[in-house]
Amino acid sequence: MVNKLFPKGRLVSLAVPLIAVALGILIGAVVMLVSGYNPVLGYSALLSGIFSESYYIGETIRSMTPLILAGLAVAFAFRTGLFNIGVEGQVIVGWLASVYVGIIFDLPTIIHLPLAILAGALAGAMWGFIPGFLKARFQVHEVIVTIMMNYIALYTVNYLIRAYLLVPGERTESISPSASLASPFLQSITDYSRLHYGFIVALLGCLVMWFILWRTSKGYELRAVGFNQHASMYAGMNVQRNIVLSMVISGGFAGVAGAMEGLGTYGYMSILSGFSGVGFDGIAVALLGANTAIGVMLASFLFGGLQVGAITMQSRAGVPTELVDIVIALIIFFVASSYLIRWIMNRIKKEGI
């Protein structure tokens, strides 16, 4: 019965990220010891900070929100045979587009807010269309193009803010309240954290990805093209069109992630001195979540909790926040080295240990 519910391949897929997290935390503890810090005290401070105070719970959920959508962007592309490294750039253009619509229009909330989110999605989709088109038409590798477009997005957005939208404080104006995801109610019950309604949008994003890939014929085509382009072409599928569509949808998810920052967390956009990090963290989230919607959501909770918990580790246990970055990097390393974990698990099974 267990074998029917959890086939061998699925059990291994579930075990790999769990082992990666455990190894990352374990070696992170060793690093703390070597650095002269108490890992038990450090991790206790991290956990108590996240779960014992409503403020940190709210901040964790708030931090999860853009990570879920960025992770979905990476996961969607990967499910269709593409590696979207340009999520960071798509987040940035989506952020600016949503804020711009939130500033210039004066509309009822029921129209203004969806319009601003849609603007972010369209901007991210447009930024994803370019590498998708180049991949489909000229076989230009999407990794190279998306990496370059991250920098184009960063400097173009900074130029547009400086030239047309700048106000004192090196940022744009604040968005209209009718375009805001901010929630006084959610903030009040979480001790005035920055929690906003964007987490509902992120959860809907998980459902959208699952529905497109697993409940539509177009999703079947997209996955088939990712598995084998030649077989898909032989079956009569338009491979080039599906490649472009995959990058457009992936970019749309990333653009909405940017909209969550612009419409929810900040309410404006500042001139960026560097990348926001949301898009790159999304790659790690997708890897840890095994490119599934539910996995991305759980991985986002882990990464959001680590990022927020790092504050309490420093204040209560004196552990530098950089050590949390080391733990996150170790988890990513072990997930990326999943073949090694699979090899060890197979050896243990063969030896009967």
User: What is the DSSP code string of 166-192?
Assistant: -BTTTB-PPPPGGG--B-HHHHHHTTS
Phi, psi of 267 (to 5 degrees): 85, 10
| Per-residue confidence band for 8, with pLDDT thresholds at 50, 70 and 90 | low
State CA 188 to chain mean position distance: 26
Mean pLDDT of 121-146: 96
pLDDT of residue 326: 87
Percent of the chain with pLDDT over 70: 92
Residue, of 220 and 5, whose pLDDT is higher? 220
pLDDT of residue 314: 83
Mean pLDDT of 118-127: 98
Mean pLDDT of 310-315: 83
Q: Is there a contact between 161 and 280 (Cβ–Cβ < 8 Å)?
A: no
Residue, of 315 and 29, whose pLDDT is higher? 29
Query: What average pLDDT is seen over the chain?
Result: 90
Mean pLDDT of 217-235: 93
- Beta partners for residue 171, in sequence order: 167, 270
Token output for 184: 């006084």
pLDDT of residue 10: 59
| Per-residue confidence band for 332, with pLDDT thresholds at 50, 70 and 90 | confident
Q: Is there a contact between 255 and 188 (Cβ–Cβ < 8 Å)?
A: no
- pLDDT higher than 80, residue 303: yes
> How far is 267 from 338, CA to CA, in rounded Å?
39
What is the DSSP track for 39-52? Answer: HHHHHHHHHHHHHH
- pLDDT higher than 80, residue 31: yes
Q: Which residue has the tokens 């509309």?
A: 107
> How far is 332 from 131, CA to CA, in rounded Å?
25
pLDDT of residue 318: 85
> How far is 68 from 353, CA to CA, in rounded Å?
38
- pLDDT higher than 60, residue 5: no
Positive or negative, the CA dihedral 125, 131, 135, 138 is positive
Q: How many CB atoms lie within 10 A of CB 113?
A: 25
Number of H helices, E strands in the chain: 16, 0
- pLDDT higher than 50, residue 307: yes
Percent of the chain with pLDDT over 90: 69
Token output for 214: 């697993």
